[in-house]
């Protein structure tokens, strides 16, 4: 909605309003399909205003749309808030950001090279 926005708004392509109770999730259609060049992906992300004001967010976030997917774009919304949330037809429900994807070929090896971190994870760097 702004010139500097990196995400494109996604709108609910609903014929009638839909209520999401606390803890409920639903697949919301956006009313369009797209085709991307190979090596691209679209990521579906929550809208920060809906998240902070109502506890509404996207499951599987960021959701990935692969370049070979040709179906309708849909968003998995969940109400993590404490009150029912009404999704109105045409409401901005999420955002979509495009990224280039590097295709990687994995190789099986018997040993990894050492690093300062090695197997330390989940807070092991002190941050």
Task: Report the predicted TM-score, pTM, of the whole model to 2 decimal places.
Answer: 0.84
Q: How confident is the model at residue 118 (pLDDT cuts 50, 70, 90)?
A: confident
Higher pLDDT, 115 or 90: 90
List strand residue ranges (DSSP E) for the chain, in order.
8-11, 18-20, 25-29, 40-45, 56-58, 63-66, 74-79, 85-87, 92-100
Residue 32 scores a pLDDT above 70: yes
Buried-exposed string 65-100: b where 16+ CB fall within 10 A, e elsewhere: beeeeeeebbbbbbbebeeebebeeebebbbbeeee
pLDDT at 106: 94
* Domains located in the chain, CATH noted: 9-100 (2.70.40.10)
**Angstrom distance (rounded) from CA 6 to CA 98:** 9
């Amino acid at each position: 909605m702004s010139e500097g926005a990196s995400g494109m708004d996604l709108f609910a392509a609903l014929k009638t309003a839909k209520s999401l109770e606390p803890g409920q999730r639903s697949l919301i259609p956006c009313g369009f399909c797209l085709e991307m060049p190979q090596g691209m992906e679209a990521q579906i992300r929550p809208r920060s205003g809906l998240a902070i004001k109502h506890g509404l967010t996207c499951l599987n976030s960021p959701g990935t749309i692969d370049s070979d997917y040709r179906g309708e774009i849909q968003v998995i919304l969940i109400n993590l808030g404490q009150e029912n949330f009404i999704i109105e037809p045409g409401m901005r429900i999420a955002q979509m950001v495009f990224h280039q994807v590097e295709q990687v070929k994995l190789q099986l090896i018997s040993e990894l090279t050492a690093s300062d971190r090695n197997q330390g994870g989940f807070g092991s760097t002190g941050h």
